[in-house]
């Protein structure tokens, strides 16, 4: 089922998600729906708060559904190591039409649970690193506009207000 993506400034986007404790059918349905919703919006990642569910669940697929091996289910994640810097353009499904450069670590290592509760570690660099940091931020209630420079953030917020007034947001 394709879920409705909530847009900034919906309060759920700014709340830290609750840790997942039950790896049951309800969770598996949420994960499947989140992948479907990501693909329907041509996204590469989605966090549960973006569909109004305040839980520490995120899905990532850099292939946008083309390669099943690229499907990542990341639950209760934490970044355990990060190194370097990258400065690339980023977007977010909760901020349609907003794309700006954001500073991120070049590489990260995360520890997380899969859909069955099994702990794993994984490394990401380049786009995957950025995507992991963006989605894990969502689970902490942190949004990418607050990672932008003050100038870019102000420009983005002004653009959002303009779209809101025009009924396009
Ligand atoms: Zn996002």
Report the greatest alpha carbon distance in the chain: 47
- Residue 108's pLDDT is 98
Q: What value does the mean pLDDT take over residues 56-81?
A: 97
What residues form DSSP beta bridges with 72?
A: 60
Q: Which residues are catalytic?
A: 135
Residue 35 phi, psi dihedral angles, 5° rounding: -65, -45
**What spacing in Å lies between the alpha carbon of 24 and ligand 1's midpoint?**
25
For the stretch 129-168, pLDDT in tens is 999 999 999 999 999 999 999 999 999 999 999 999 999 9
Phi-psi region at 130: left, alpha or beta (left = phi > 0; alpha = psi -120 to 50): alpha
**What spacing in Å lies between the alpha carbon of 146 and ligand 1's midpoint?**
12
**What spacing in Å lies between the alpha carbon of 108 and ligand 1's midpoint?**
18
- Residue 160's pLDDT is 97
Q: Which of 78, 79, 92 is nearest to 144 (CA)?
A: 92
Report the predicted TM-score, pTM, of the whole model to 2 decimal places. Answer: 0.97
**What spacing in Å lies between the alpha carbon of 136 and ligand 1's midpoint?**
9
CA angle 61, 169, 90 (to 5 degrees): 35
For the stretch 76-98, pLDDT in tens is 999 999 999 999 999 999 999 99
For the stretch 105-115, pLDDT in tens is 999 999 999 99
- Residue 140's pLDDT is 98
CB atoms within 10 A of CB 142: 16
Residues with Cβ within 8 Å of residue 41, at least 6 apart in sequence = 5, 93
What does the H/E/C string look like for 59-111? EECCCCCCCHHHCEEEEEEEEEEEECCEEEEECCCCCCCCCEEEEECCEEEEE
- Residue 165's pLDDT is 96
**What spacing in Å lies between the alpha carbon of 54 and ligand 1's midpoint?**
14
């Amino acid at each position: 089922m394709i879920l409705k993506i909530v847009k900034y400034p919906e309060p759920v986007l700014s709340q830290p998600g609750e840790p997942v404790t039950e790896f049951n059918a309800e969770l598996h349905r949420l994960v499947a729906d989140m992948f479907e919703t990501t693909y329907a919006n041509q996204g590469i990642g989605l966090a549960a708060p973006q569909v109004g569910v305040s839980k520490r669940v995120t899905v990532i697929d850099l292939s946008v559904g083309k390669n099943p091996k690229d499907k990542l289910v990341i639950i209760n994640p934490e970044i355990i190591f990060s190194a370097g810097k990258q400065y690339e353009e980023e977007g977010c499904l909760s901020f349609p039409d907003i794309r700006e450069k954001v500073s991120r670590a070049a590489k990260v290592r995360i520890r997380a649970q899969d859909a069955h509760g099994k702990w794993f570690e994984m490394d990401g660099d380049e786009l995957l690193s950025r995507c992991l940091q963006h989605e894990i931020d969502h689970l902490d209630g942190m949004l990418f506009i607050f990672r932008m420079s003050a100038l870019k953030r102000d420009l983005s917020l002004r653009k959002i207000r303009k779209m809101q007034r025009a009924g396009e947001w």
